[in-house]
Structures are given as structure tokens and as C-alpha cells.
Amino acid sequence: MKLLLALACMLLTPSTTHALSIDFAASVSQPSLKIKSVSNDTVLAEMVDKASIWPSVSLKTKERYFYDSNFGYSAEAMAWYMKLDRQKVSSKEVNLNTSARGYFAYLTPTLYYRFGDKYSMDSSDWMTTIGVGLGVGYLNVKGTMMTTGTSPNRFGRIDDIGFGLSSGLYVEIMKDRWFLRFTSFGPALNNGTVNLELRDNSIKIGRRFNFNLFSD
């Protein structure tokens, strides 16, 4: 955890112009929260919400590359509210009169490969980026659930808050600063009894803005 924090801070340290960028987008997202047994990793319950459209703002560091290759790295941060009113049972979303509310956030260094122009965000050519990340996440969730992965089913409560690992992947298509982005990121938290794994799956359409806050 300390290593991941140090890496994230290093990536967020402004050392060049255009050190930071902000994405403003319309996002179609569907969060999912899995509650798993610590002992055998069995999914005790999975809470979901229907897909919804929200405005989205995310912060990223300047993209940097390994020498002259198309492999690069950056870090991104995001925080958002979640509302989960359904549960997934046998691949179907059903209403069991359970619900959960809360917040999540993550700071995730990512490694990626870019197809196309790797330097200019104003390029008129199409650019495609595929990336994966591992970082630090925060989860705050309260609510009720029904354990559907065990027999007999049991009603239970969720009341957890804390820091854990954050992981995810994304695919992005960009041209003239406009982008279409598919993401699946989220934090995971171990409270000693169960593992809580949040996954925020989203499709974003928006525009990226760079900021000359710092210079060499």
C-alpha cells in the first residue's frame, strides 16, 4: 500500500507543462458491489443498480512514455456517489427489498499502450489507448443485503468504510480532444469478515482539457 501511494504521488508531481488534465463527460454507468467470503472467496451477494446517465469529471496526470515506445503511464483520480437497489441472482437483476448507499474514490496509476499519435491531444488523427491500473481506493457503504450465494439465504447489513486496493482497465478512442472511453474501475475493501469489491462500469463521451499550471 505504501509503495502504491508513493508511486501515485510521484506521478502526480508536476514536472512539465500540461501537467494535469480534466475530463468533462456524459457518463452511462452501472456500479456493482460484490460481497465475498474471506475464507473461500464465495460471492455471498452482488448488489447492482440500473444503468443511468450522469455528468462526470475526472482528473488525470500528463501522459508520459517509456523512451520512444508507445507504452506509457499516467495516474487518474475520481470520486462518486453510488446507489444500489437491486441484487443479481442467477445472472438476473431482482428486487429483494434491499439497498445500499455510499461513496467511493480511487487514485490509480495506469500503464497503457497507444495506437496513433502519442504526443498531441489536438491531433486530427484517431488515437486508441488500452490501459490497466492498480492503485489506492476508498469505499464508504451502508445498507442491507440478502445472501443469495449461500443456503439458506440470510438478511444482513452492510456498514463499512476504509481504504483498500483499486484496480481497473479502460479502452479510449480520441480525436481533437473528444473521446469515447470504456472503463471498469473500483476499490476493494477487506473488513476481516468479508471482501467488498466495487466495480464502476461506464461509457463516457466527453472532452479533455489540459492545464498549464506548472512549467519546467
Average pLDDT, the chain: 84
State the DSSP string of 51-109.
-EEEEEEEEEEPPEESTTSSEEEEEEEEEEEEEE-EEEETTEEE--S--EEEEEEEEEE
Report pLDDT for 9: 47
Contact residues for 85 (Cβ-Cβ < 8 A; gap 6+)? 49, 95, 98, 99
Report pLDDT for 6: 43
Report pLDDT for 154: 85
- Nearest alpha carbon to residue 29 among 183, 145, 179, 178: 183
Q: Give the residue, 17 or 143, on which the prediction is more confident.
A: 143
State the DSSP string of 91-104.
TEEE--S--EEEEE
Judged against a pLDDT cut of 90, whether residue 165 lies above it is answered with: yes
* Helix H or strand E encompassing 183: strand 178-190
* pLDDT tens for each residue of 18-64: 478 888 999 998 889 999 988 888 888 999 988 888 888 888 888 88
* pLDDT tens for each residue of 63-73: 888 888 899 99
Judged against a pLDDT cut of 60, whether residue 160 lies above it is answered with: yes
Q: By three-state DSSP, how is residue 6 classified?
A: helix
* pLDDT tens for each residue of 82-128: 889 999 888 888 899 999 999 999 999 999 999 987 766 666 788 89
Give the pLDDT band of residue 216 (cuts 50, 70, 90). Answer: very low
Q: Is the pTM of this model over 0.75?
A: yes
- Sign of the Cα torsion 105, 110, 116, 118 reads positive
- Nearest alpha carbon to residue 32 among 116, 124, 141, 172: 141
- Nearest alpha carbon to residue 84 among 52, 48, 109: 48
Report pLDDT for 119: 63
State the DSSP string of 186-202.
EEEEE-SSEEEEEEEEE
Report pLDDT for 30: 87
Measured CA to CA in angstroms, residue 133 lies from 51, 57, 84, 123 at distances of 24, 19, 25, 25
What is the rounded average pLDDT of the residues 187-206? 91
Judged against a pLDDT cut of 80, whether residue 15 lies above it is answered with: no
Cβ neighbours of 5 (radius 10 Å): 13
Report pLDDT for 209: 87
Measured CA to CA in angstroms, residue 131 lies from 72, 109, 155, 215 at distances of 9, 10, 38, 27
Give the pLDDT band of residue 3 (cuts 50, 70, 90). Answer: very low
Judged against a pLDDT cut of 60, whether residue 214 lies above it is answered with: no
For each of the domains in the chain, give its residue range(s) and CATH number, in order of start.
2-10+21-209 (2.40.160)
Report pLDDT for 46: 92
Report pLDDT for 212: 66
Q: By three-state DSSP, how is residue 127 classified?
A: strand
